Amino acid sequence: MKVLKFGGTSVANAQNISLVKDIVATCATDKCIIIVSALGGVTDTLLNAADLSSKKDERYKTVLKEIEKRHLDTVKSLIPIHGQSTVLSKIKSELNTLEDLLEGAFLIGEITPQLSDKIVSYGEMLSSYIISEYFQHQQLNAAHVDSRTLIVTNEVNEKAAVNFKITNTNCQKFFSETPHKIIVAGGFIASSENGNPTTLGRGGSDFTAAIIAAAVNAEVLQIWTDVSGMYTANPKLVKQAKAIPNISYEEAMELSHFGAKVLYPPTIQPVLSKGISLEIKNTFRPEDKGTLITKSQNEKGKTVRGISHVENIALLSLEGPGMVGIPGISKRFFEVLSQAEISVVLITQASSEHSICVGISADDIDKAVQIVNNAFEYEIERGKIKPVIAEKNLAIIALVGDNMKSHQGLSGKMFSTLGKNNVNIRVIAQGASERNISAVIKKDDVKKALNALHEEFFEENIKQLNLFVMGVGNVGAKFLNQVCQQKKYLKENLKLNIRVIGLSNSRTMVFDEGGIPLKNWEDTLASGEKANKEQFFEKVNQLNYRNSIFVDNTASAEVSTTYNSYLGNSISVVTCNKIACSSEYSNYQELKSLARTYNAPFLFETNVGAGLPIIDTLKHLIASGDKILKIQAVLSGSLNFVFNNFNDQTSFHDVVKQAQEEGYTEPDPKIDLSGVDVMRKILILARESGNQLEIDDIENKSFLPQESLDTDNNDDFFASLVKYEGYFQKLYADAVAKESKLKYVAQFEEGKASVGLQEIPKGHDFYNLEGSDNIVLFYTERYPNQPMIIKGAGAGADVTASGIFADIIRIGNF
**Contact footprint for Mg ion (CB under 5 A):** 7, 203
Active site residues: 681
Distance (Å, rounded) from C-alpha 46 to C-alpha 52?
Answer: 10
Q: Does 38 bind ligand ASP (CB under 6 A)?
A: yes
Q: How far apart are CA 673 and CA 666, in angstroms?
A: 10
Least distance from C-beta 9 to ligand ASP, angstroms? 9
- Binder among 2, 3, 7, 98 for ligand ADP (CB under 6 A): 7
The answer to whether residue 17 forms part of the interface with ligand ADP (CB under 6 A) is no
Q: Which does 9 bind (CB under 5 to 8 A by kind): ligand ASP, Mg ion, ligand ADP, none?
A: ligand ADP
Bridge partner list, 708:
none
Distance of closest approach, residue 187 Cβ to ligand ASP, in angstroms: 5
For 729-751, letters b (16+ CB in 10 Å) and e give bebbeebeeeebbbbbbbbbeee
The distance from CA 356 to its chain's CA centroid, rounded to whole angstroms, is: 31
Residues binding ligand ASP: what is the number (CB under 6 A)? Answer: 13
The span from the CA of 233 to the CA of 375, in Å, is: 39
123 binds ligand ASP (CB under 6 A): yes
Amino acid at 813: N
DSSP states along 539-596: HHHHHT-TTEEEEE-S--HHHHTTHHHHHTTT-EEEE---TTTTS-HHHHHHHHHHHH
Residues in 41-100 that interact with ligand ASP by CB under 6 A = 43
Interaction of residue 203 with ligand ASP, rule CB under 6 A = yes
Task: Give whichever of 226 and 662 is closer to ligand ADP, judged by the CB atom.
Answer: 226
> Among 99, 187, 450, 652, which residue sits at the site for ligand ASP (rule: CB under 6 A)?
187
**Contact status: 175 vs ligand ASP (CB under 6 A):** no
Q: Is 16 in the site for ligand ADP (CB under 6 A)?
A: no
Q: Is 399 in the site for ligand ADP (CB under 6 A)?
A: no
Q: Does 8 bind ligand ASP (CB under 6 A)?
A: yes
Supply the minimum distance, in Å, between the C-beta of residue 259 and ligand ASP: 15
Sequence-ordered list of residues with C-beta below 8 angstroms from that of 814, at least 6 positions apart, any chain: 601
Look at residues 442, 432, 291, 284 and name the one whose alpha carbon lies nearest to residue 362: 442
Question: Following CA atoms 8, 13, 19, 24 in sequence, which dihedral angle do they give, to the nearest 10 degrees?
Answer: 60
When asked if residue 563 is in the footprint of ligand ASP (CB under 6 A), the reply is: no
E strand or H helix at 248, and its extent? Answer: strand 246-248
Shortest reach from residue 104's CB to Mg ion, in Å:
30
- In the set 46, 183, 214, 262, which binds ligand ADP (CB under 6 A)? 262
Task: Output Rg (C-alpha) for the chain, integer angstroms.
Answer: 36
Whole-angstrom Cα distance, residue 670 to residue 668? 6
Least distance between Mg ion and beta carbon 276 (Å): 19
230 in contact with ligand ADP (CB under 6 A) = yes
Closest residue to ligand ADP using C-beta atoms: 7
CB within 8 Å of 90: residues ≥ 6 apart: 129
Among 186, 197, 203, 476, contact with ligand ADP (rule: CB under 6 A): 203
Contact at 8 Å (CB) between 271 and 278? Answer: yes
Instruction: Pick the closest to residue 688 from 610, 755, 603 (CA basis).
Output: 603
Pick one of 231, 641, 643, 748: the residue that binds ligand ADP (CB under 6 A).
231
Sequence length of the chain is: 814
Q: Which of 771, 677, 668, 655 is nearest to 721 (CA)?
A: 655
Amino acid identity, position 178: T
Choose one: 86-94, 200-208, 209-217, 472-480; the region binding ligand ASP (CB under 6 A). 200-208
Residue 291 contact partner, candidates ligand ADP, Mg ion, ligand ASP, none, CB within 5 to 8 A by sort of partner: none
Q: Which stretch binds ligand ADP (CB under 6 A): 258-266, 393-401, 449-457, 657-665?
A: 258-266
Residue with Cβ nearer ligand ADP (244 or 801): 244
User: Quick one: 201 or 667, whose CB is closer to ligand ASP?
Assistant: 201
Binding-residue pattern over the window 36 to 55 for ligand ADP, x denoting contact by CB under 6 A: -x------------------
Please report the beta strands in 37-148, taking only residues with DSSP state E, as ranges in sequence order. 142-145
What is the biggest distance separating any 2 CA atoms in the chain, rounded to whole angstroms? 115
Candidates 226, 444, 626, 697: give the one binding ligand ADP (CB under 6 A): 226
The strand order across the sheet containing 277-282 reads: 142-145, 182-186, 32-36, 2-6, 220-225, 277-282, 291-294, 246-248
Name the segment binding ligand ADP (CB under 6 A); options: 254-262, 358-366, 602-610, 798-806.
Answer: 254-262
The residue (of 43 and 638) whose beta carbon lies closer to ligand ASP is 43
227: contact with ligand ADP by CB under 6 A: yes
Q: Is 202 in the site for ligand ASP (CB under 6 A)?
A: yes
Task: From residue 591, give the alpha-carbon distance in Å to each of 94, 477, 599.
Answer: 68, 26, 12
> What is the nearest approach in angstroms of ligand ASP to the Cβ of residue 267?
10
Q: Under the criterion CB under 6 A, does residue 234 sit at the interface with ligand ADP?
A: yes
Determine the straight-line distance between the first and last CA of the chain, rounded to whole angstroms.
Answer: 54
Q: How far is the CB of 223 from Mg ion (least distance, A)?
A: 8
Query: Of 223 and 755, which CB lies nearer to ligand ADP in the complex structure?
Result: 223
Question: Within positions 269 to 328, which residues make up the interface with ligand ADP, using CB under 6 A?
Answer: 306, 308
Residues within the interface to ligand ASP (CB under 6 A) = 7-8, 37-38, 43, 123, 187-188, 202-206
Residues within the interface to ligand ADP (CB under 6 A) = 7-10, 37, 203, 225-227, 230-231, 233-236, 260-262, 306, 308
